């Protein structure tokens, strides 16, 4: 094969510039000034809803009043996406650590069960040895008693 073929071994590889998927989050946007009436109404609604469902009232009150929350802003969406990705990475790392801990715990339990089986085997061997020695001593005693009884008669 010829090495000079540009299809097989290209001389120069053109690198394309990276294309951003999302624009910079530092882009300033015009923010509307909230209406005073809606601001007051949002505060009242948020307070009332916080008594019923804590946390939800703040979101809804901010949405009504236009303050405290910018649901429509692009920068907020980018921040929420970055926060979501950070949470996903945290969950992945957490799951990996938990799997490693579970594996270590299972290995430890397996080692302990092997130790227990080994201990049971040793106890069983000792019981067999004791039984064998006990039977030998009993038969020796019986034979000695028989000899003593034969001498008496």
Residue with tokens 């579970």: 102
Q: Which of 146, 145, 126 is nearest to 134 (CA)?
A: 126
- Both tokens of 32, joined, read 């509307």
Residue 56, in any domain of the structure = no
Domain with 100 in it: 70-152
From the first residue on, what is the mean pLDDT of each consecutive set of 10 residues in the chain (153 residues)?
Answer: 56 56 52 65 73 68 57 67 89 94 96 96 96 95 92 83
Task: Specify the number of domains making up the chain.
Answer: 1
Residue 18, domain member (yes or no): no
46 within 8 A of 60, measured Cβ to Cβ: yes
What are the DSSP calls for 22-33, one per residue?
S--TT-----PP
Query: Is residue 133, in this structure, part of any structural domain at all?
Result: yes
In a domain, 62, yes or no: no
Specify if 7 maps to a domain. no
């Amino acid at each position: 094969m010829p090495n000079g073929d540009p299809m097989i071994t290209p001389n120069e590889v053109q690198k394309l510039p990276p294309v951003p998927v999302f624009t910079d989050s530092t882009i300033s946007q015009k923010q509307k000034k909230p209406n005073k009436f809606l601001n007051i109404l949002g505060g009242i609604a948020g307070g009332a809803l916080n008594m019923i469902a804590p946390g939800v009232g703040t979101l809804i009150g901010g949405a009504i009043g236009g303050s405290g929350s910018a649901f429509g802003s692009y920068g907020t969406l980018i921040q929420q996406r970055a926060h979501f990705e950070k949470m996903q990475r945290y969950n992945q790392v957490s799951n990996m650590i938990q799997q490693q801990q579970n594996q270590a715990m299972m290995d430890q339990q397996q080692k302990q069960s092997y130790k227990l089986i080994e201990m049971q085997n040793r106890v069983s061997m000792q019981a067999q040895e004791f039984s064998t020695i006990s039977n030998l001593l009993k038969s020796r005693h019986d034979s000695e008693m028989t000899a003593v009884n034969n001498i008496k008669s």
